[in-house]
Structures are given as C-alpha cells and as structure tokens.
Structure 1
Amino acid sequence: MTQTESRNELLTHLEEIRKWEEDQKGLWFWERISRLPFKILDRLTPQLIHKKIGQALDEIGSYLQTGGKYLVSEKSITKRYEKKLNIEGIDLADIAKQPIAVMDEISDNIIASRAKIAMTQGATTGIGGLFTLTIDIPLILGLSLKTLQEIALTYGFDPNDKRERVFIIKCLQFASSDIVGKKAIIEELATYDEPNENVNRKMISQVQGWREVMVSYRDNFGWKKLLQMVPIAGILFGSFVNKSMIEDIGEAGKMLYKKRRILQKLENSTPQK
C-alpha cells in the first residue's frame, strides 16, 4: 500500500531543507581551529598507533569500492517499513514511493538508535584515554558509514550502487566540514541526480582520493575528541561526543537524502494549476 502526498506538501518539505542548508552557514569559532588538536596528537602518539589508525582507514576505504565489511543489508530497513505499514514483502522500490513523513519517522528512529550505540561506545573507549581513543576513531567511522547507509535505504536509495557510496562519503565529509566545505558540497550534490556524465565522473574522481577525505574527517573532529584523552574523565566526554557526532552525521544524511527524494518526487509529479 502506497500513500501519496501533494506537490505542495513536497514543496513545503523542500523549503524546510533549504532553511536547514542556510543554517549550516553558521561557523563556530572552534571549527576554525579544529585541526590543531590532531596536530598535537600526531606528535604525542606512538608510531605503532599511527599505523593502526592507517590500517583502519585503509579498511574503510574499501567501502567506497566494494562496500567491504561495512555494507549493510536492506532487510533491517524493509522490516521497519513492514512493521510501520503493517504489510509484508516491501522492497526498495516500494520504499521510494512512501510519503516523506514516513521516511522521516523511520530515519529519526535509526539516528536515535545509532546515537545510543555511539554513546555507549564512546564511554567504553573513553576509559583508557589516548590509547583507547585510537580504537574509538575507526569504530565511530564504521558506525557513521552504517548509519548513513541505513538512512540511504530509508529514503529508497541502494548503497550497493557505487554512486550511492560516493554520495555517502560526501555526506560524511559534509558533517565534518567548515562553512566553506559545506557550501561547496551542497553545490556539488545539487546536480547529483542529473543525467550529466561529466558531473558524475568529476564527483567520483573527487573521492577516489578517499584517504584525504577520511584524514580530513579525522582532523576535523579532533578537537571534539581531545578531552577524551584524559583517562576516566574520557568516559563522560567520549559518551557525549560520540552521541553528538552520530546525531550530526545522521542529520546531514537525512537532509541530503531527503532532498534528493523530494526532488525526484517533484519531477514525477504533475504541477498543480
């Protein structure tokens, strides 16, 4: 069973997203110095731990090419829809036809659930200070990728498609970017679904250097993780920071995927006279 929404309702949703995009232009002072903490950490961290972080980033890089061990199954999302709509046998095509309000509700539930996991994870890895911090970094990156994939599925997009994995990396990059980076990414993604081979090729080539994206991501949340270096006290900071990070990443993924789905729905709808 597929419910429909009017063109005016879709335009209202789209206007809410545009307001959100405007809000992203606000730049906190500490975002300007977000790279400094990790420059300090680079000097303090033993080479062995640097190597482990590099290995974790290499594993995540395989996600872009094949999905690797980070690729999620769409079953967990289809089951959420089946429970919500009280019907069986839903697939990704059916999900894409559902109302935006239903997609939003399921997406919000996913973000809340993943934020709780991140909070527990941050508290656990905050016990040992610097050394467990290096464990937390690849874990939070992996959870971020999983969350964004689930959000993609919630709005009817398939992470098995490499183009969607490129989009997910862009969502991840957006969540940790400063005002200049956010503006650039919004402009890049504005034409993501247009049948322009050159644009798509350019987008894919930009993230071929995925390691730079990940290192940038690591650097940008460095200041948030700095206090987690303190043993025991890191439990509190790690818990709070991880939760807020997944919430921020989830919000970015939700809004960017929601915008794509609304634009596709509008394209397929009949303008009201």
Structure 2
Amino acid sequence: METKEYLLRELKEIEKWEKDQKGLWFWERITRLPFKLLDKVTPKFIQTKIGTLLDEIGGYIQNGGQYLSNKKSVYQFFEKKTGRPINELSDLQDVPVEEMKKVSLELADKRKGAATLQGASTGIGGIFTLAIDIPAILAISLKTLQEIAIIHGYDPNDKQERVYILKCLQFSTSDYVGKEAILNELSEISEKDDEKSREVISQIQGWREVTLTFTESFGWKKLFQMVPVAGIIFGAFANRSMISDLSETGTMLYQKRRIMERLGSVSNSTND
C-alpha cells in the first residue's frame, strides 16, 4: 500500500488539475455557438436521432442498457499490461493507484484510436453521417469511463456508479460554473452520503442537460465535419480530442476518489 505522503502528493497534483479545468476561455465559448445555431436548421431525421439518444441515456442510468462494459475484458487488459492476475473486482481494491493510472492511460490510447476511426468514417458523408457519429461517440465515451471506473475498483453495474460516470462525462464538456457544481456533486456521491446521493440522482433525472452539454461541446468541430470529404479530417480530430479530454477527466477523478478513500483508511488505522 502507498504511503500517506505519496497519496497526499498525488492528491495535490489532481487538485491542481481540477483548478486548471475551471477556466473557460473566450474562444471556447465562441466554439459552442455554431452548434446552437445549427440546431435551428438541423433536419428532422437528425433531431429524431438525438431524441433517441436522450432516451438511451435515461435507460443507461436506470439499468445500463446496451452501454454496460464487460468487466472480464477489462480484467484481461489490466493483467496484460501489469502481469497482475485479476479475476474479480475485489482484486483491484489494493492495487497501487500508480498502476491504475498507468493502465487507464493505456486504455485511453486504445479508445482514442477507435474514436479517431469513427470520426473519420462518419466525416465522409457530412451532415447525413453526423446523425450516426454523435450516438457512436457517446457509446465510446461511456465505455471509456466505465472501463476507467472498473480499473479503479468501482462497479458500473451499480446505478449510483452510473450516475457518477455521467457526471464525469458532463464535467469534461461543461463550462466554469458547470465544473464547479459538478465537482461538488461528485464529492457527495463519493462520500456515500445516502441523502446527498439521492439528491444528485434526482437532479440527473433531468439527464437531457448531459446530452445538451455533450453535443454543444462539439461546437465548430462538428460544424466543419458537415462538409463532405473534408469532414473526414475534422471528424477524426473532433472525436479524438473529445475522448482524450474525457479519459483524462475520468482518470483524474477516479484517481482522486480512490486516493481519498485510502487516505481515510490510513487515518482510521492511525487512530486505532
């Protein structure tokens, strides 16, 4: 097990990262505008697809639906990268956080490759394949976050964990005010305060905000993807950068959660 000094040092680095995430530059605000304008002229068949996407996110919160990750494949990936045999979730509880971080980053590289290919392939047809790309990149995003959760010893089969995962998704695409609020909500879920957790779950029943934030975050990147053929380049870039930001967010937030729990264990054992 890591020393208290090591855990505190890592926690300080994560808190510095959190502080850096809270700034939203002017140009970032501008890049969100095209998608809002685009929504007014979006063909009905694309709006129908986005409506279906909203329903799927609601289903994900309730039961995981088609988006639940295969834990066994994550165990195999972890074992392949570290040589440490993992047969069930409990085997990950005492794994050093440094190993968890290393495997999460390697898994992120794998997912970024898949997202790049997805964005390039759907960029060929411009606006007509955009309707396919948004649900596809959402699926990759949820899969990535779930796998990072499993690597850190948390179970996406738990409804409360799925809420945490969606909040991580929302955090990665939110502005300054949104990030501040979401960090507080994530802390409440992590502390396992049942009353506060229920409040957060109740709030996210309005999960449409997650999808709106998610789609707006594409901004000008998706606007350019609507140009046939040229959209290949922009689609690949947009998807890769989104998964890159998302996997960094997931890794940092799950690292913090695991570190806080271990610091709590160290304090309890010292008091005893």
- Name the SS of the counterpart of 2:189 in structure 1: coil
How high is the TM-score relative to the length of structure 2? 0.94
3-state SS of 1:97 partner:
coil
Q: What CA distance in whole angstroms lies between the structure 1 residues aligned with 2:29 and 2:71?
A: 38
Paired-residue identity, %: 55
Structure 2 residue 160 is the aligned partner of structure 1 residue 147:
no
Q: What secondary structure, in the 3-state scheme, does the structure 1 residue paired with 2:204 have?
A: helix
Structure 2 counterparts to residues 246-261 of structure 1, below 5 A:
246-261=243-258
After superposition, the Cα gap between the structure-2 partners of 1:84 and 1:140, relative to the gap in structure 1 and judged at 3 Å, is closer
| SS at 1:127 equivalent | coil
Candidates 19, 40, 64, aligned match of 2:37 = 40
Q: 1:48 and 1:84 mapped to 2: Cα distance? A: 43
Match in the other structure for 1:6: 3
Residue matched to 2:228: 231
User: Is residue 125 of structure 2 the alignment partner of residue 128 of structure 1?
Assistant: yes
- Matching residue of 1:158: 155
Residue 78 of structure 2 contacts residue 86 of structure 2 at CA under 8 Å; is this kept in 1?
no
| 2:77 matched residue in structure 1 | 80
Give the alignment partner of residue 216 of structure 2, picking from 211, 219, 224.
219
Structure 1 residue 107: deviation in Å? 0.1
Contact kept? 1:60, 1:142, Cα under 8 Å: no
Q: Which residue of 2 aligns with 1:92?
A: 89
Cα distance in 2 between the residues matched to 1:27 and 1:89: 40
The residue number in structure 1 matching 2:241 is 244
Q: Structure 2 unaligned runs (5+)? A: none
Determine which of 260, 265, 269 is the counterpart of 1:263: 260
RMSD: 1.6
Map 1:63-74; keep pairs closer than 5 Å.
63-74=60-71
Name the aligned partner's letter for residue 70 of structure 1: Y
Distance, in Å, in 2 between the alignment partners of 1:200 and 1:165 is 12
> Unmatched 5+ residue regions in structure 1?
none
Letter matched to residue 235 of structure 2? G
Alignment of 1:9-28 (within 5 A): 9-28=6-25
Whether contact under 8 Å (1:81, 1:95) holds in the other structure is no
Return the letter of the residue paired with 2:44. Answer: Q
Q: Is the CA contact (8 Å cut-off) linking 1:7 and 1:271 kept in structure 2?
A: no
Contact 1:125 1:133 in 2 (8 A): yes
In the alignment, structure 1 residue 106 sits paired with structure 2 residue 103 = yes
Q: How many residues align?
A: 269
**Any idea what SS the aligned residue of 2:237 has?**
helix
**Pair 162,13 (structure 1): closer, same or farther in 2 beyond 3 Å:** same
- Distance in 2 (CA, whole Å) between partners of 1:225 and 1:87 is 41
Q: Which amino acid aligns with 2:50?
A: I
**8 A contact 2:148–2:251 mirrored in 1:** yes
Q: Normalising to structure 1: TM-score of the pair?
A: 0.93
